[in-house]
Structures are given as C-alpha cells and as structure tokens.
C-alpha cells in the first residue's frame, strides 16, 4: 500500500511517502516559509522521488489538528485537492496522536505539546503507548500539575518543546532526541496506516474536516465585537 502523508499543523512542514511501513521519501523543513508556498511542492517532491502520481496513492494521511489554524486549513485543502474525484481514503488524525507516534516504543509518559501562545499548549498524555487523556488546550501550569502525579520518565515532543521544558521543570522530565521533537509526516503515515487497518478516522475528500479545540483568532475577534455591541 502506498501512503502519502503531510503535516502542516505547526511551523515545521513535512511530507512523506511510504510503501507499507517502508519510508520511500521524506521531506521536512522548518524555515518559517508559509505552508501555502511550500506544502504542495513538498508533496510533489516526495511523489516525484518515488515516480508516482496521486492516482497511484492508496491512502492519504494528514495531521488534521489541533494546531495552527492557518496551517491546518492549508493541509486539509491540499489533501482535498489531491484526492478530489478519486474516491481515495483519507486518514484524518489528531496531531497529538501523530506526535506521540514520534516516540513509539518509549516507556513512561509521552506528552505532545504544541505552542498555543500565552503560555498555553495543545496537549494530551500517553503512558507506555496508550492514550490516557483527551486532546486538551491548557496552560503549562495546569499541565505541570497533571504531570507531577506520575513517577516515571516524561518526554515532550512537538513545537512547544522548548516552552514546556522552560515552564514545566519537573525532575522526571527527560531530554527528547532532537530528531523526534518536531512534527514528522512519517509518523503521520504510520498512524494513518494503523487507523486504516482498524477502519477508524477514515474519510472521503468531502467528509474530512479540521480538528479545532477553540475558535480561530478571526472568529474570537468577531464574537468580541458582537458582545461589545450588545
């Protein structure tokens, strides 16, 4: 099975092509360039490296959020465009699950953290490979409280890594290898393949939707204006 996966939920952008569980091509950059400029060329580059076209892809996988509202929308739009009219399955995955996949096999607590600004993070808690919380948007102070209850190694992963390490100074927290700290489309593909085999989180191009934990900035500002005018 050929799987094309992308992740545009944070500053880093990533695309990967897998044949079953074998990585054929991978392209990740953390340059700060806008995903609207980079994601399509990156997806095209990994397909070109393998000599395949979108028609040859059996499964599309995407990290559908939470994360950057703009980044999530760009990724969803790209996947919809690549799949349009092809009746191909799309695995739309929580970015917490795909980040946790980075640290597959690690024992203890794996805690994905994505910077949500104002010292808040999108996060979830996994223990020995099993999810034990839902996706959350919480202050780092609250996450510190939650993690202080565990007497085992704790590993962070995600673009909020530096923020979490700075604000959550628990002795159980360990360093995560640099290669495993950022969003990675290979992890998205592997999580997507797992979901496909289990027949969950699989959608068509018309069904797939972003995963948000709060309203976008534009929506929040609109609501504030409405409330101020009441």
Band of residue 213 on the pLDDT scale cut at 50, 70, 90: confident
Do 139 and 215 belong together in one domain? no
- Give per-residue pLDDT as tens, 70-120: 999 999 999 999 999 889 999 999 999 999 999 999 999 999 999 999 999
Task: Dihedral sign for Cα 206, 40, 75, 112, please.
Answer: positive
Please indicate, yes or no, whether residues 134 and 111 belong to a single structural domain of this protein: yes
Going by pLDDT thresholds of 50, 70 and 90, the confidence category of residue 131 is: very high
Please, what is the end-to-end C-alpha distance for the chain in angstroms? 56
Structurally, how many domains does the chain consist of? 2
100: in domain: no
Residues 6+ apart with CB under 8 A from 53: 47
Examine the domain organization and report whether 53 and 35 are in the same domain: yes
DSSP state for residue 121 in the 8-state scheme: E
What's the rounded mean pLDDT across residues 52-65? Answer: 96
**Residue 147 belongs to some domain of the structure:** yes
The answer to whether residues 109 and 167 belong to one domain is: yes
* Both tokens assigned to 148: 């202080």
- φ, ψ dihedrals at 173, nearest 5°: -75, 130
Sign of CA dihedral 104, 109, 114, 115: negative
Name beta bridge partners: 139.
120
Domain with 109, as residue range(s), is: 105-180
Structure tokens at 69: 């509202």
Cα separation, 151 vs 153, whole angstroms? 7
Q: Is residue 123 part of a domain?
A: yes
Tell me the CA distances in angstroms from 133 to 31, 102, 112, 127, one per residue in order. 32, 18, 12, 10
**Contact (CB, 8 A) for 46 and 26:** yes
User: Which secondary-structure segment (H or E) carries 39?
Assistant: helix 35-50
Share of the chain above pLDDT 70, in %: 93
Classify residue 44: in a domain, yes or no.
yes
Whether 190 maps to a domain, the answer reads yes
Say if residue 227's pLDDT is above 60: no
Highest mean pLDDT out of 32-36, 155-159, 207-211: 155-159
The CATH number assigned to the domain holding 194 equals 3.30.420.40
Report whether pLDDT(44) > 90. yes
The CA distance from 158 to 58, in Å, is 28
Q: If you count DSSP H runs as helices and E runs as strands, how many of each does the chain have, helices first?
A: 7, 13
Instruction: Tell me, yes or no, whether 20 and 65 share the same domain.
Output: yes
Residue 164 located in a structural domain: yes
């Amino acid at each position: 099975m050929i799987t094309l996966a992308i992740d545009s939920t944070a500053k880093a952008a990533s695309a990967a092509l897998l044949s079953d569980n074998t990585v054929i091509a991978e392209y990740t950059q953390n340059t700060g360039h806008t995903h609207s400029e980079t994601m399509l060329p990156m997806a095209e580059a990994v397909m070109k490296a393998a000599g395949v076209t979108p028609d040859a892809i059996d499964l599309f996988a995407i990290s559908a959020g939470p994360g950057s509202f703009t980044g999530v929308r760009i990724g969803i739009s790209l996947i919809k465009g690549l799949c349009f009219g092809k009746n191909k399955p799309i695995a739309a995955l929580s970015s917490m699950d795909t980040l946790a996949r980075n640290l597959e096999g690690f024992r203890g607590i794996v805690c994905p953290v994505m910077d949500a600004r104002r010292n808040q993070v999108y996060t979830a808690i996994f223990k020995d490979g099993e999810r034990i919380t839902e996706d959350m948007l919480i202050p780092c102070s609250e996450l510190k409280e939650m993690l202080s209850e565990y007497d085992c190694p704790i590993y962070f992963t995600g673009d909020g890594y530096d923020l979490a390490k700075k604000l959550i100074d628990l002795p159980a927290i360990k360093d995560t290898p640099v290669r495993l700290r950022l969003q990675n489309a290979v992890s998205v593909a592997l999580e997507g393949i797992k979901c496909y085999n289990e027949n969950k989180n699989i959608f068509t191009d018309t069904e797939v939707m972003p995963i948000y934990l709060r309203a976008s900035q534009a929506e929040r500002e609109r609501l504030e204006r409405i409330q101020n005018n009441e």
